[in-house]
Copies of this chain bind each other. A is one copy, B any other.
Amino acid sequence: MSGGTVDVHTWEPNANSGKPLFALHEKRVAFTHHYVDMGVRAHHEPAYLALNPAGTIPTLVHDGLMLTESTPMLEYIDAAFPGPPLRPADPAARHRMRCVIRWLDNSVCPALAMVASNRLAAPRFRDTPEADKQAALAKISDPERRRTWRLLMYDATPADELAESHRRVSEGIDRLDRALGEAPWLAGDTFSLADITAIATLHSLPLAQPELCNAQAAPRLTQWLARMGERPAVQALAGYAP
């Protein structure tokens, strides 16, 4: 357990950026927030790369130790700080928590990101000059991230990939709704990092997918969203939007 200085660098309190903010509020840890404007790709600029050479968001700096990767970061936050535990103590329940997080990270959240970015971000690049697009892409070192941004900038995501993402979103909502019929929280009887991971991306689901995520089609998921919305940590996140 440790106190010390805590600095968190995130974009808007959504998806991966929302995860450490949410967890630190649940643990009641004081920290300094630094806003990184992903909209102008500030995370690909030298100032941010000097902090985190991988250029990923979020970054956590705890007493001079730089930590990346939001999912391992959540486990670190729970282990390194005092406050309410965010992981079940029982190894089987903890395994269930990690399987839910893995499924969200690898399947549901990328699918939601592809659907949302194609609807919201791709149109913004329509009037961007070609040279500016090329310059922006040249700053992205990871080939897979560069491909994602290129497809977005040129509105060129293959139709079958987009269709598969829509299928995963729909299947994901069904599976979450069923899981929440079996237990009150995503890892079972206790609130955990699985709920934090899920709400960081799913909080806007009723607005983004109104025909799939509503009180009739997904009643347990809708109730869970309402319960999550009552948590002070979720309410505090609104303060981190610019």
Contact = CB atoms under 8 A, between A and B. Distances in A.
Interface stretch (A7-15, A64-72, A121-129): A64-72
5 contacts: A67-B92, A67-B95, A71-B98, A76-B91, A143-B167
A99 interface: yes
Given A72-B98, A75-B94, A79-B94, 18 more contacts: A65-B92, A67-B92, A67-B95, A68-B99, A69-B99, A69-B102, A71-B98, A72-B95, A72-B99, A75-B95, A75-B98, A76-B91, A76-B92, A76-B95, A80-B92, A106-B106, A143-B164, A143-B167
A136 interface: no
Q: How many copies does the complex hold?
A: 2
A72 B102 contact: yes
A188 to B, nearest CB: 13
Interface in A50-94: 65, 67-69, 71-73, 75-76, 79-80, 91-92, 94
A69 B94 contact: no
A76 B90 CA distance: 10
Interface of A: 65, 67-69, 71-73, 75-76, 79-80, 91-92, 94-95, 98-99, 102, 106, 143-144, 164, 167
A69 B98 contact: yes
Given A76-B91, A91-B79, A71 B102 contact: yes
Given A143-B164, A143-B167, A164-B143, A80 B73 contact: no
A95 B73 contact: yes
A197 B1 CA distance: 28
A73 B96 CA distance: 10
The 3 closest A-B pairs by CB, nearest first: A72-B98, A79-B91, A80-B91
Contacts of A65: 92
A72 B75 CA distance: 13
Nearest to A143: B164
